[in-house]
């Protein structure tokens, strides 16, 4: 029995030693692994690699701000971040670093190779982001912490086909009602104004003429507010043909296809498109950056209807 006990002890010691070696090997490999930064699941292309100094992480600020559609300037070591014409962050605490000088970690920004790097904890607090670092994968994950910013898959499960929503235009605060048509695309919402009055209000926000300008809006469905972008170009309809039929010469230059005009007394022929967060352009399966700029603009509004 003593011999068996000794064998078991030896086996346990060997197992612990192997686990220790494997863990250290994994950590050693991670030290040399490039730090990856993801924002809402998308990998950000970095001009230089992020820095880890002690427990602090610094990442190039430009890719983050570009992804969030935020304008910024760097003048005489002063970083200024704008939302539209409003300054939301102004910092002068920028420190040059060449990799050998000691770094004052109280400084928020670091300047390296003409790039400005920012503390992820600081930018997360200023721009309402959640962040996490996974030491096993060396991935920094940033997530937009905004209840209005709902991915299109979830948004279209809220604004389902044949559902009515109230739209609020961010700039004018004009509101109107729309209905999502049955049979439209799966990555955006094809909608129609409910009444002539709703069409008039929609047209008013468009400046009085139908156009392809994208506008930031809040879509309210059963009390749920969703940031979105709408384009004021009626299309894909014919009032002299049955709804749902395959027809030629549809409105808005969309030629042949399914007739999506279901409401005949609203003074608009066809539908207009609403894009949500990360909505894909139908047929192309690509994100429309101009629409996303407006979606993000809407998400930063204080409108709560």
Single residue among 144, 171, 193 that ends a domain in this structure: 144
3-state class percentages of the chain: helix first, strand second, coil last, to nearest 5: 25, 35, 40
Provide the pLDDT confidence category of residue 88 given band limits of 50, 70 and 90.
low
Shared domain for 76 and 195, answered yes or no, is no
The answer to the question of residue 275 being in a domain is yes
Give the least confident one: 111-120, 188-197, 286-295: 111-120
Shared domain for 67 and 206, answered yes or no, is no
Shared domain for 253 and 278, answered yes or no, is yes
> Is residue 232 a contact partner of residue 211, using CB atoms and an 8 Å limit?
yes
Residue that has been written with the tokens 């983050």 in this structure: 64
What are the helix and strand counts (H, E) for the chain? 6, 20
Shared domain for 129 and 259, answered yes or no, is no
The answer to the question of residue 8 being in a domain is no
Number of domains in the chain: 2
d(CA 276, CA 296): 9
Single residue among 94, 126, 144 that ends a domain in this structure: 144
State the pLDDT at residue 253: 93
Shared domain for 199 and 117, answered yes or no, is no
The answer to the question of residue 60 being in a domain is yes
Shared domain for 178 and 111, answered yes or no, is no
The token duo for 91 is: 């910092």
The answer to the question of residue 184 being in a domain is yes
Q: What is the 8-class DSSP label of residue 5?
A: H
Instruction: Label the pairing between strands 189-193 and 129-134.
Output: unpaired
In what order do the strands lie in the sheet containing 129-134?
A: 42-43, 36-39, 139-144, 129-134
Backbone angles phi, psi at 19, to 5 degrees: -60, -40
Shared domain for 163 and 224, answered yes or no, is yes
2 against 56, higher pLDDT: 56
The yes-or-no verdict on residue 31 having pLDDT over 50 is: no
Helix (H) or strand (E) holding 109: strand 109-112
Shared domain for 167 and 240, answered yes or no, is yes
Domain that holds residue 250: 152-299
Work out the percent of the chain whose per-residue pLDDT is above 90.
Answer: 50
State the pLDDT at residue 54: 76
Name the β-bridge partners of 141. 38, 132
3-state secondary structure of 85: coil
Give the least confident one: 94-108, 150-164, 227-241, 271-285: 94-108
Helix (H) or strand (E) holding 63: helix 61-67
């Amino acid at each position: 029995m003593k011999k068996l006990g000794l064998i078991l002890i030896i086996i346990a010691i060997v197992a612990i030693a192997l686990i220790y070696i494997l863990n250290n090997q994994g950590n050693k490999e991670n030290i040399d692994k490039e730090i990856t930064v993801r924002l809402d699941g998308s990998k950000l292309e970095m001009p230089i690699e992020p820095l880890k100094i002690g427990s602090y992480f610094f990442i190039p600020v430009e890719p983050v701000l570009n992804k969030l559609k935020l304008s910024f300037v760097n003048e005489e070591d002063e970083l200024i971040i704008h939302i539209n014409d409003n300054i939301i962050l102004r910092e002068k605490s920028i420190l040059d670093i060449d990799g050998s000088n000691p770094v004052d970690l109280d400084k928020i920004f670091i300047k390296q190779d003409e790039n400005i790097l920012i503390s992820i904890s600081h930018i997360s607090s200023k721009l309402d982001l959640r962040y996490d670092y996974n030491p096993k994968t060396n991935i920094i994950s940033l997530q937009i912490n905004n209840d209005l910013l709902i991915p299109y898959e979830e948004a279209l499960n809220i604004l389902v086909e044949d559902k009515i929503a109230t739209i609020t235009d961010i700039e004018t605060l004009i509101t109107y009602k729309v209905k999502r048509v049955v049979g439209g695309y799966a990555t955006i919402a094809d909608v129609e104004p409910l009444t002539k009055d709703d069409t008039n209000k929609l047209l008013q926000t468009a400046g009085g003429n139908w156009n392809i300008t994208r506008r930031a809006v809040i879509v309210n469905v059963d009390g749920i507010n969703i940031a979105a972008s709408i384009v004021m170009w009626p299309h894909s309809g014919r009032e002299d043909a049955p709804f749902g039929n395959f027809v030629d010469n549809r409105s808005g230059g969309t030629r042949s296809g399914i007739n999506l005009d279901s409401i005949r007394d609203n003074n608009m022929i066809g539908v207009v498109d609403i894009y949500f967060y990360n909505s894909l352009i139908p047929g192309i399966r690509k994100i429309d950056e101009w629409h996303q700029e407006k979606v993000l603009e809407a998400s930063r509004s204080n409108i709560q209807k």
